[in-house]
Chains A and B, each alone.
Chain A
Amino acid sequence: MQGFPETFQHERAEMKTERDTMNFALLIVPLIAGVLFGYFSREKRKVNLSKFTFGIILVLIFSLGFGIGSNSELLDSLPEVGLSAAVIASLDIFFSVIFVKAVRKTAGL
């Protein structure tokens, strides 16, 4: 079975967590800047950005795909565990959606 060399696993987990905390700043800064910019330009003439945004979404999805295609660990794991993984992912999604739907009804969200 393809896997990760055991000695590196701990290091990898830590490295990833560190990287993702850094990523959080990358997310929150443009969000706050966007809210401020939007709030102060409320009365200005609106520009339709939906085509532009969709273009950037495609760039995002392309680079997401690029990361998947170049991740040999991930691709190697798929033939062997792909089917079980698909079952797990589908049921995780299914029950998450059911629970959110139920909570929205009861809490009136």
Chain B
Amino acid sequence: MIKFILTALFLGALAGYLNANWTSIINNVWVSDYLLNAALMMLLFVMAAALAMDKESISKVRRTGLKILIVPLAIALGTILGGVVSALILGFNVVATTAVSAGYGWYTLTGPLVGQIFGPKWGALGFAANFLRELLTIITVSLMVKVDKYAPTASGGATAMDTTLPIIVRYCGSDTLVTAFSSGFVLSLIAPFTIMAIASLA
């Protein structure tokens, strides 16, 4: 299954690159925005319907209740620790590197925001680090699920509410829909605030 996913990702990147730099047959937005959103909406509808039809999954979700809110909190703390540790390993500024991490995978936010605060070099890093988080989540999902049922949700960070959600649910089961979505939602909500709070420490 992962073979097909990686092939689709590669072909998409190739087509996007050729279209942007060579042919420009179609407007980028049609594929990278409209087609993406249409596919995502269709998947969310089907996955939510599958969850609602499955009584066993519903009762699993009910049993978890509000405890699922601990998951995004743990992901946020883990990510911030990851930022501190990588700053120490790379010999980078700890505050700026941690701010880069605090995008939780949301690169369209983190790149511009961190760039605005710390300068273009950090903007580029904020873009790349968070983009790679999304990419690594997609590539490693089949291995991650063996580590822990919620490991792909943790790995996906903020992207677990949209782009990586369908793959997470596909590999981890219908009942992870609620945990993954709410975790991604909470992380997306707090990302701009944590980035700015960390930046204020500089």
Interface of A toward B, CB cutoff 8 Å: 1-4, 6, 9-10, 12-13, 16-17, 20, 23-24, 26-27, 29-39, 41-42, 46, 49, 52-54, 56-78, 80-82, 84-104, 107, 109
Contacts and interface: CB of A to CB of B under 8 A. Distances in A.
Given A67-B36, A70-B16, A3 B121 contact: yes
The 4 closest A-B CB pairs, nearest first, are A3-B120, A65-B12, A69-B16, A34-B48
Interface residues of B, number: 107
A88 B8 contact: no
Interface in B99-149: 100-101, 104, 106-109, 111-113, 115-116, 119-121, 123-125, 127-133, 136-138, 144, 147-148
A49 B170 CA distance: 12
Contact of B136 (A9, A39, A89): A89
Given A57-B170, A72-B21, A88-B86, 13 more contacts: A2-B124, A13-B113, A26-B41, A39-B53, A46-B53, A58-B5, A60-B163, A61-B167, A75-B17, A85-B132, A89-B132, A91-B82, A101-B147
Given A35-B52, A58-B5, A88-B86, A70 B150 contact: no
User: Chain A at the B interface: mostly helix, strand, loop or mixed?
Assistant: helix
12 contacts: A1-B120, A38-B49, A58-B5, A65-B16, A69-B14, A88-B90, A89-B129, A92-B83, A97-B154, A98-B78, A100-B150, A107-B70
Given A62-B9, A65-B12, A30 B41 contact: yes
Contacts of B121: 1, 3, 81
B197 interface: no
